[in-house]
Amino acid sequence: MRTSPMPIVVLISGNGSNLQALIDSQARGELPVEIRVVISNRSDAYGLVRARKAGIETIVLSHRDFPSREAYDAKLMELIDARQPELVVLAGFMRILSERFVNHYLGRLINIHPSLLPAFRGLDTHERALRAGVKEHGCSVHFVTPELDAGPIIIQARVPVLDGDTPSTLAARVQTQEHRIYPLAVKWIAEGRIQMRDDGVYKDGIRQESPPVLEADTVATES
Ligand code: GRF
């Protein structure tokens, strides 16, 4: 059992509601982490305001100032590594990461994706789910590997798709669940309960055949 909070770095591009969920969970004493820095590739990301309000260091690293993805990612790695995090948390960071970056943090890099992976990798997941006519949708927390949105899944949450849903009503329903499962996944990692190995995700030393899936209407009693 660790005695000090796990140092983490959070990368964002936008609203930062998932960052807020981590901050709130930490503030309630439920999440043993220390957010060392929040880095955004966009200066107008509202998540930067959220971080500053919580007294967390912020950095804006604009991709426009770099000639290539590799050059941007190299600088990003330098900034991250200077803070010595044990985990790098992608929370709406809207950039494809280079293979070098992903491999550097392999097993220490997680993302939240707004679909029940492996369904709907990539962008516009809510629109695509509605167009496909699925009855259930959701979100997934996964380790990041070089193949986009294909890394081993730690936890998912499922929501119903309702008659009359629009991409935004569906997104809101999914986001409520994102704010539940992301802090939970980070907590499990901070407690040393989750590891990524070559053959998948291990929880409490046991290989998970399939990830746990929380249902939207269950009370948050999971630990
Ligand atoms: C979330 O929907 C997340 O699943 C996706 O990007 C969005 C970020 O939202 N990866 P926010 O910035 O955390 O509010």
pLDDT in tens, the chain (223 residues): 678 999 999 999 999 999 999 999 999 999 999 999 999 999 999 999 999 999 999 999 999 999 999 999 999 999 999 999 999 999 999 999 999 999 999 999 999 999 999 999 999 999 999 999 999 999 999 999 999 999 999 999 999 999 999 999 999 999 999 999 999 999 999 999 999 999 999 999 999 999 999 998 655 445 4
Radius of gyration of the chain (CA): 17
What was the pLDDT predicted at 3?
86
Give the pLDDT score at 216: 82
Residue 14: helix, strand or coil by DSSP? coil
Catalogue the active-site residues. Answer: 113
Tell which atom from ligand 1 comes closest to the C-alpha of 171: 2
What's the confidence (pLDDT) of residue 30?
97
Which ligand 1 atom sits nearest the alpha carbon of residue 46? Answer: 12
> Residue 7: what pLDDT?
98
Phi, psi of 161 (to 5 degrees): -95, 125
Of 112, 156, 181, the one to substitute when testing ligand 1's pocket (max ligand atoms within 8 A of C-beta) is: 112
Q: Which of 9, 37, 23, 8 is nearest to 183 (CA)?
A: 23
Q: Is the pTM of this model over 0.85?
A: yes
Helix (H) or strand (E) holding 106: none
Max alpha carbon distance in the chain (Å)? 49
Closest residue (by CA) to atom 1 of ligand 1? Answer: 92
**Residue 218: predicted pLDDT:** 59
Helices 167-190, 125-132: axis angle to 10 degrees equals: 120
Spatial neighbors of 210 by CB under 8 A, at least 6 apart, are none
Which residues does ligand 1 sit against, CB inside 6 Å? 12, 14-18, 47, 91-92, 112-114, 139, 175, 178
Q: How many A from CA of 222 to the centre of ligand 1?
A: 22
Residue 32 near residue 6, CB atoms below 8 Å: yes
How high is the pLDDT of residue 179?
98
> What pLDDT, on a 0 to 100 scale, did the predictor assign at position 221?
46
